[in-house]
Structure 1
Amino acid sequence: MRAISMQEFGGPEVLRIADVPIPQPRGAHHLLNVSRAGVNYADVHVRGNTYLAPVTLPYIPGNEVVGTTPDGQRFVGLTPGGGYAEQALVHRRVAWPVPDDISDDQAVALALQGQSAWHLLFTAAGLRAGERVVIPAAAGGVGSLAVQLAKRAGATVIALASTEQKRHVARDLGADAVVDSTADDLTDRIREAARGPVQVALEMTGGKVLQATLAALAPRGRLVVYGYASGEAATVVTHALMEKSLTVSGFWLPHLYGDRGALPTSMEELFQAVRDGDLKPIVGKIYPLGEASVAHSRLAARDHIGKLALDVTR
């Protein structure tokens, strides 16, 4: 079968198409003929050997797929790699039948990024109706879904985005206020947009953006970290936490894979939100499998809007 096989770590150029063996069927797994493979920041970290989990070469990237079983059942699922391929194995515990009224492009946006957005807001941050929440990269895969889910939950959303085009997208998604994430006075702008400090913030940039977001929190505020797109580490001073009784936590979706109730519950919530019209995944550019390197370049440049994915049939 055709797949993207990494023989070395490095830039997008290491993502090369190759003929590889078809995965062997395994107990408690579905073997899917893949139609869509999601492209995520996790894949960029895998490619650069900076991922949270170790990766052994050669390696097929890709942690979320939509596809069909040999008998025609359609599933969306999460994989420990192997998604950038014509066929992939998904464990039944992290695979869900796709309803007929949900498209492949919608489903692939919900598997990793939709689940992450839902659990960032409601499991990690404990967002409640009436609270003010900061959502970064609000026109991206996780951020665009988090904006809509937070609004559906009755929160006031302050969206961060780096360009006017992306801020316009965030407004259209329902954000109550939008802020330029590149501003030097980011803390002040967040507080001004929110008309005061915020109770909840998500953070995935790192460095000075994390520090500015942390400073915008109200007493007993909660900040959840789920990435470091800038590549900059950030040190959180414990005195600052105690001063306002702040909570800072990290979140990585795979830690929920062993929970038999968490992901099925959130996936059903996501499907229902799409049906209700409250959640509209933004479908970004869909690339042929052989253009995975182009998709990675776009993702790393952060000049895209919505969900990037690979059409594995092309």
Structure 2
Amino acid sequence: MSAMVAAVLCDPTGPQPLRLDSVPIPVPGPGEVLLAVGAFALNNAELLQCAGTLPAPPGAVPGLECAGVVVALGAGVHTLHTGDRVAALTRAGSYAEYVAVRADTVLPLPDDVELCVGAALPEAAATAWWNLVCRGRLRTGERVLVHGAAGGVGSLAVQLARALGASVTGTARGPVKTALCRDLGCDSVLDYAEQDVFDAVRRRQPGGFDIILDNQGAPTLNANIGVLAPGGRLVVIGVAGGSEGVLDLAALMAAGAEVSSSSLSRLTDAARAAICRELRSEVLPRVRTREIWPVLDEQAFTLADIDAAHKRFGAADRIGKVVVTTTADISKSDAHQRNQLFVR
């Protein structure tokens, strides 16, 4: 067996940018493992690649995260074994039946966590941890505002902030999403379909927020600064509303506040590996106890339905992560048999 099915980006900006095709199975290099992918989750960057807004991924197969079973080891990998069930943070390639990933960006999955759940964890957990804890320097007792709190990253950020001792306010649209945010642990939820959330924030939290996690970008830049507490931190994790804004430096300086931003894809391999080490020690134990749990959209898809999955990702009523499955759950014996096919 030397070929696999993958969703290949063949026509960026076209009506059907992705095409299922037979492509070579990757061979894991030094420090890498080969995963038989059971499921992967969608992220906005992949849709932007399909729209031609971002460059095509290496190898033309998108995909920033997945869950599956280790079926082959590259040279120098001693911490993982064939048959291990894992999730992985990838740079590309998870829209496929197999993907080669760096072993240091792999997260071991507890036996009772299904692959479709594990697939929704790496990107959201890494983004939430990096931006709340590393960039935002979250401390116990601080006040956190999470915009888009019913989304894939937002829903996990709410749970993480609560687990670390923060009080959390979330914004979302509509009664279904706001109800979810309350269930996730938000102390307060603001429905931006019903009110000006910044007016409501100023009334409910006159002292302002220590950390704001924002996914909109330019349109809310100065409004966010206006509801920061003295010394507060605005962390921009997305630009869904636009990327070019005018920053009121006088307001920023008056609050003694700061603005930062980040993209996991721009981080070095070493930085991504460090984040994954912290996820293994600080987040996965909370997943095992269900203190933190990925939110999955109610609609699931198979690899053959990748176009429909992308459409669902952009739907107004989508909640949490959209997950695509590729194969049935893989047993350890099946992983061993597959491993024999990749021994060089």
TM-score range, shorter chain: over 0.9
Quote the Cα distance in structure 2 between the aligned partners of 1:274 and 1:58.
Answer: 32
**Which stretch of the first structure deviates more once superposed, 80-89 or 9-18?**
9-18
| Paired residue total | 312
Displacement of 1:58: 6.2
AA aligned to 2:269 is: Y
Mapped pair 1:163 → 2:174: yes
Contact 1:37 1:309 in 2 (8 A): yes
| Partner of residue 290, structure 2 | 277
| Partner of residue 337, structure 2 | none
| Partner of residue 82, structure 1 | 93
| Partner of residue 7, structure 2 | 4
| Partner of residue 67, structure 2 | 66
Pick from 264, 269, 277 the counterpart of residue 257 of structure 1.
269
Per the alignment, in what secondary structure is the counterpart of residue 120 of structure 1? helix
Quote the Cα distance in structure 1 between the aligned partners of 2:268 and 2:59.
Answer: 27
Mapped pair 1:291 → 2:305: yes
Quote the Cα distance in structure 2 between the aligned partners of 1:182 and 1:196.
Answer: 24
Mapped pair 1:266 → 2:269: no
Unaligned runs of 5+ in 2: 72-81, 329-344
Contact 1:60 1:81 in 2 (8 A): yes
Unaligned runs of 5+ in 1: none
Q: Deviations over 1:228-283 (max 9, x none)?
A: 11245322232221121110001222416313533211233221112223112222
AA aligned to 1:75 is: V
Displacement of 1:102: 2.6
Quote the Cα distance in structure 1 between the aligned partners of 2:217 and 2:253.
Answer: 21
* Greater Cα radius of gyration, structure 1 or 2: 2
Mapped pair 1:55 → 2:56: yes
Quote the Cα distance in structure 1 between the aligned partners of 2:206 and 2:119.
Answer: 36
TM-score with structure 2 length normalisation?
Answer: 0.85
Contact 1:12 1:293 in 2 (8 A): no
| Partner of residue 176, structure 1 | 187
Displacement of 1:130: 1.4
| CA separation of 1:274 and 1:92: change in aligned 2, threshold 3 A | same
Q: Deviations over 1:18-68 (max 9, x none)?
A: 1212113322111111001111112112222333xx436861110111111
Mapped pair 1:15 → 2:18: yes
| Partner of residue 29, structure 2 | 26
Contact 2:219 2:241 in 1 (8 A): no
Per the alignment, in what secondary structure is the counterpart of residue 119 of structure 2? helix
**Which stretch of the first structure deviates more once superposed, 150-159 or 253-262?**
253-262
Displacement of 1:172: 0.8
Contact 2:66 2:120 in 1 (8 A): no
Displacement of 1:95: 1.4
Mapped pair 1:104 → 2:115: yes
Quote the Cα distance in structure 1 between the aligned partners of 2:137 and 2:219.
Answer: 25
TM-score with structure 1 length normalisation?
Answer: 0.92
Quote the Cα distance in structure 1 between the aligned partners of 2:57 and 2:63.
Answer: 14
Displacement of 1:106: 2.7
Pick from 306, 309, 318 the counterpart of residue 304 of structure 1.
318
Over the residues paired in the alignment, what is the CA RMSD in angstroms? 2.0
Mapped pair 1:44 → 2:47: yes
| CA separation of 1:56 and 1:68: change in aligned 2, threshold 3 A | closer
Contact 2:225 2:252 in 1 (8 A): no
Quote the Cα distance in structure 1 between the aligned partners of 2:306 and 2:227.
Answer: 38
| CA separation of 1:187 and 1:253: change in aligned 2, threshold 3 A | same
Per the alignment, in what secondary structure is the counterpart of residue 224 of structure 1? strand
Moved >6 Å (runs of 4+): none
**Which stretch of the first structure deviates more once superposed, 288-297 or 207-216?**
207-216
Displacement of 1:75: 2.0
Quote the Cα distance in structure 2 between the aligned partners of 1:116 and 1:171.
Answer: 21
Equivalent residues in 2 for 1:127-276, closer than 5 Å: 127-182=138-193, 185-254=196-265, 255=267, 257-259=269-271, 260-276=273-289
| CA separation of 1:101 and 1:268: change in aligned 2, threshold 3 A | farther
Quote the Cα distance in structure 2 between the aligned partners of 1:190 and 1:45.
Answer: 32
**What percent of counterpart residues are identical?**
35
